[in-house]
DNA sequence: CTATTGACCTTCT
DNA sequence: GAGAAGGCCAATA
């Protein structure tokens, strides 16, 4: 499928997102930080966008540092992201996810 | 090939 | 404490 050469960065992101347990959410910064780069959070979003609704990557479980569903506009519908999270048992505070209850930290990859 | 933007975060002023 | 700028990787124009 994807030539793991120029997109190896994406693979790492997908690997972590894929490991996110149901009913939990993680943040771009934690993913980027787990990969060794805490500043490349932007690129993390790109990786998700590349597989948003096209792969087994639950991109809806990835939110920003504030718990806002920033990428909902990139989904099929602007409410799809929230619907999916709610369907998994994730609590919402207004338009934001309760990171205090569903914040999942990814394992540190070497 | 260069410049700009993009689902962001960190750090300095 | 708040605001502004920089930085990371990749894609598009």
Collapse the DSSP code of A55 into the 3-class scheme (helix H, G, I; strand E, B; otherwise coil) and give the result: coil
In the structure encoding, which two tokens stand for residue A85, read together? Answer: 């999270």
Predicted local confidence at residue A73, as pLDDT: 86
Residues of chain A with confidence (pLDDT) below 50: 1-6
Q: Are A25 and A58 in contact, with CB atoms under 8 Å apart? A: no
- How far, in Å, is the CA of A39 from the C1' of nucleotide B8? 8
CATH class of A8-102: mainly alpha
Angle at A91 between CA A86 and CA A92, to 5 degrees: 90
Angle at A23 between CA A22 and CA A25, to 5 degrees: 95
Collapse the DSSP code of A5 into the 3-class scheme (helix H, G, I; strand E, B; otherwise coil) and give the result: coil
Strand C close residues, chain A 18-47, CB < 7 angstroms:
37, 39-43, 46
Closest nucleotide to A37, Cα to C1': C8
Model confidence over A28-56: pLDDT tens digits? Answer: 999 999 888 888 899 999 999 888 877 78
Domain boundaries, chain A: 8-102
- How far, in Å, is the CA of A34 from the C1' of nucleotide B10? 15
Predicted local confidence at residue A108, as pLDDT: 75
């Amino acid at each position: 499928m994807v030539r793991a050469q120029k997109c190896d960065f994406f693979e790492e992101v997908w690997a972590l997102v894929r490991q996110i347990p149901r009913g939990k959410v993680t943040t771009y910064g934690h993913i980027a930080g787990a990969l060794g780069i805490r500043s490349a959070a932007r690129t993390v979003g790109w990786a998700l966008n590349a597989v948003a609704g096209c792969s087994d990557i639950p991109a809806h479980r990835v939110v920003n540092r504030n718990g806002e569903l920033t990428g909902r506009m990139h989904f099929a519908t602007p409410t799809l992201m929230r619907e999916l999270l709610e369907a998994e048992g994730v609590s919402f505070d207004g338009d934001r996810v309760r990171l205090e209850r569903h914040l999942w930290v990814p394992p540190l990859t070497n």
